[in-house]
Amino acid sequence: MESLEVVLKEGIVTLLLTGLTLACSSCSSHGVKVRVGSLPYPGPTTNFPNPSNLGVHNSSEKKGEVYTCEAGLIDIVHVRKSADYTKVFSEKIFDNLMNGKEKFSLQMPEPSNYFIELNYPENWKALSLEEKKRIANEISIKLGAHISYMGTTWHEILTWFDYKSTGLISEFGSAFSLEDGFSNLLGTYLAEKVLTENKGDYNTSLTRALDEEIRSLGVQPRKIARKSTRDTKRKRNLDIGLDDGYVTPWIIPVDSVPESMSAKPKAYPVPNTDILSKYGFSMKFEIEPHELFEKGKILNIAGQRKRINPTQDFPKIMNYIKKQAVEKYKFDINVPSGE
């Protein structure tokens, strides 16, 4: 029998998200449109859009869950949000690089601040303006993707510890749902690709890139997406790429789709900071929690410091979460390998 606590939380979150969907549809946060994702199982907030018509990004866009043979369910809202934060962060990082700033901060919708401290190569000031622009553009796109992914992962951590974006209701029911982490990563991957190619309008390019990517993953009609959500409530994907630098999606085989029964999950690489050493830079990146009720619990697990260092602290935090997921909540966290 499911834990009553979990059932109640998931039901309340579902009702809350219904209201938030209406309230936040035209809002923005730090330059990114506020979008409310869906839960990966049937309910009043879960949409199953026509995957052949997901609309134009930031315009006529559609939301909800789509199903692919090689990546399982994908939450299109999470893809869009992480993509847009990649773009916004890249632009801000580029400006700071061009102005020679060593310290600056970024933020997502949560109260947490992301602090960046850059060490520049000795020859930076001697470079031509064009060379600086070229290098800054390359670095900013890579770092924008990295920080966006770290930020969306931090959001999942916060929600695991009962973070309440409205100040009232816990969002635990959506924490590390089986498709969120991969969807977040896919958004950063697509945005990095589009920004690097730099061919025309960003929204048009991302629309095309998203459509092409889900087709390559074997996207299926909406009725298949709906059918695939029948057994997902008790599953949590806690793979954030700590072990091998890749996130493996959770494939849900659907017996009426032979391709899904034999498909192997397509793992995607986590955005890293290797680009910095290529040009003689180094960076310190820290997250300072300001969430009133959650920060103490998380900082205590990390080691009672004021800030979180994702590289050092995420493994400790995730080990704690994995133990809770299995022992307290009886979740299935074993992502199928497809082998």
* Cβ-Cβ contacts under 8 Å for 61 (sequence gap 6 or more): 54, 55, 76, 80, 207
Banded model confidence at residue 16, pLDDT cuts 50, 70, 90: very low
What distance in Å separates the CA atoms of residue 178 and residue 156, rounded to the nearest whole number? 11
Residue 18 has pLDDT above 60, yes or no: no
Closest by Cα among 12, 14, 22 to 46? 14
State the chain's mean pLDDT as an integer.
90
Residue 23 has pLDDT above 60, yes or no: no
pLDDT tens figures, 114-169? 999 999 999 999 999 999 999 999 999 999 999 999 999 999 999 999 998 777 77
DSSP-based three-state secondary structure for 304: coil
Contacts 24+ apart (CB under 8 A), 317-325: 317/157, 318/238, 318/240, 318/242, 321/157, 321/160, 321/176, 321/238, 322/238, 324/160, 325/176, 325/236, 325/238
Per-residue confidence (pLDDT) for residue 4, from 0 to 100 = 44
> Which two three-digit tokens encode residue 226?
């709906």
pLDDT tens figures, 201-216? 999 999 999 999 999 9
pLDDT tens figures, 225-245? 999 998 898 999 999 999 999
> Which two three-digit tokens encode residue 92?
């801000």
